[in-house]
Amino acid sequence: MYAHSEILRMVIRDMSHAGGEASFKTHIKRIEEAAVDSIYTELRLRGTDEWTEVLVKERASNFVTTLLTSFTYDRA
């Protein structure tokens, strides 16, 4: 999981250098919304009950939101 986070950090860092802070925030929000939507619509957990699936999807969505909102715009 750490490799995924580091790749995402590098992509977002590079993205932040183009377009300014408003553009950066718009991109982050769009990525977050797409990821959360994908988790809720595409993630299928075989062999689990509905409660477990909802719990996993909720926690995965919270992780994505926490990760993406941890990025800040760097003016440098």
pLDDT tens-digit readout, 24-66: 888 888 888 988 999 898 888 888 899 999 999 999 999 889 8
Sign of the torsion formed by the C-alpha atoms of 19, 22, 23 and 27: positive
Whole-angstrom Cα distance, residue 76 to residue 10?
15
Prediction pTM value: 0.72
Label residue 76 by pLDDT band (50, 70, 90): low
What number of other Cβ atoms are within 10 A of residue 9's Cβ? 13
Average pLDDT of the residues in 21-26:
84
Token readout for 45 is: 């957990």
Longest Cα–Cα distance in the chain: 48
What number of other Cβ atoms are within 10 A of residue 71's Cβ? 18
- Amino acid (1-letter code) at residue 44: R
